[in-house]
Homo-oligomer: A and B are copies of this chain.
Amino acid sequence: MKKNLFIIGLGLIGGSLGLALRESPLVNKIWGFDVDQEAEKKALELGIIDEALPLREGASQAGVVFLCTPLRTFPAIIEEIGDVLRPETLITDVGSTKENVMHIFKKLPRGVWGIGGHPMAGSEIKGINGADRYLFENAVYVLTPPPDVPEEALGYLQELLVFTGARVKIMEASYHDRLVATISHVPHLAAAALVNLTEGKDDNLMMAAGGFRDTTRIASSSPELWQDILFSNREYVGEKLEAFIALLSRMRKALADDDREALYKELKQAKIIRDQIPHKRKGLLPEFSEIVCIVPDQPGIIGKIGEILGSADINIVDIEILRAREGDGGSIRIGVKDRETAEKAVERLKSFAIKAWVR
């Protein structure tokens, strides 16, 4: 059965949901609302929504309401739209903690179903300009339904979200909140503390190589947003932060005692666990083989490489400029479907005097 969607908050997540759900057979119209009229305009332009509607108007006509605004705005929005929601309307959110949201959803009128949601996806580009139809591809999307939700309501939402490419996982709100404390909130605090450890000194920052940049990237996120998130999950975060401090203190002791074996064990365990986390996948691309080629810096070189490979029926499944120097050249990483194709691609590029090898 097709439903109309109403997306409240047209930012990165709201915008990406609109793009991803546009062509779902389960969707009729997509309406949107944002306090920022520019975002509404942009959403119309990009085909994210069919129409911008005021809060109460959209809410009164929608089959599913997506709350894609910051956590702290939820109570006011529910207050504003609660009385116009029709029975059997589904309301779901995309906030980072779920116990508190489920608590807020308890205020919904009878017959309106509030199902907590948390897509574990993001982008360094915030706001609607980061909207991407494939943002949720292969990402985990947690749903925390209330115990009394009708099966067909939950089933509809699940099926709808599968269309985004996400892997939908159903769990209890408190369980979710404990998991994100470990996997997201404490890492966030750690990143902030690592950055503060530099005291902002120039010599420290100058030395920041790729490792430090990666480790602390999330410390550039909005402090307002994260203050909200962390305090909305205060107890679990506190508990896990304490456990984290205990682990670090153990390492500190190993260093102080010159106990090489003890520290080695910690590093080894971390490597074993970390290696189990799948590589950052760019969606549902299958595994592929990689080649690297060194190219001269000249206009159109990427098109040329695409042509050289394309004319030999070699499809590029991934491409990245690794490093480059203006006016000189650079190295490009290219992914192709398998080892055999990679070797073929290398031969082909070499025949055009482009230095290339299989990684």
Contact = CB atoms under 8 A, between A and B. Distances in A.
Interface stretch (A33-41, A85-93, A125-133): A125-133
A286 interface: yes
Interface in A152-188: 165, 169, 175, 179-180, 182-184, 186-188
Interface string A110-127: 000000000011100100
A299 B336 CA distance: 11
A220 interface: yes
A149 interface: no
B213 A187 contact: no
A266 B231 CA distance: 14
A258 B132 CA distance: 37
B193 A244 contact: yes
Interface of A is mostly: helix
Given A196-B270, A207-B179, A223-B264, A310 B319 contact: no
B227 A263 contact: yes
A269 B320 contact: no
A316 interface: yes
A223 B129 contact: no
Contacts of A77: none
Interface in A185-209: 186-200, 203-209
Contacts of A340: none
Interface residues of A, number: 133
* Copies of this polypeptide in the complex: 2
A284 B324 contact: yes
Contacts of A165: 325
A84 interface: no
Residue from A125, A213, A255 having most chain B Cβ neighbours under 10 A:
A255
A262 to B, nearest CB: 10
B303 A248 contact: no
Interface stretch (A2-10, A51-59, A271-279): A271-279
Contact of A183 (B120, B212, B269): B212
A104 interface: no
A177 to B, nearest CB: 11
A301 to B, nearest CB: 8
Contacts of A249: 245
A135 to B, nearest CB: 7
A334 B231 CA distance: 38
12 contacts: A125-B359, A129-B359, A179-B203, A190-B248, A192-B267, A193-B247, A213-B277, A219-B267, A230-B255, A238-B256, A299-B313, A319-B319
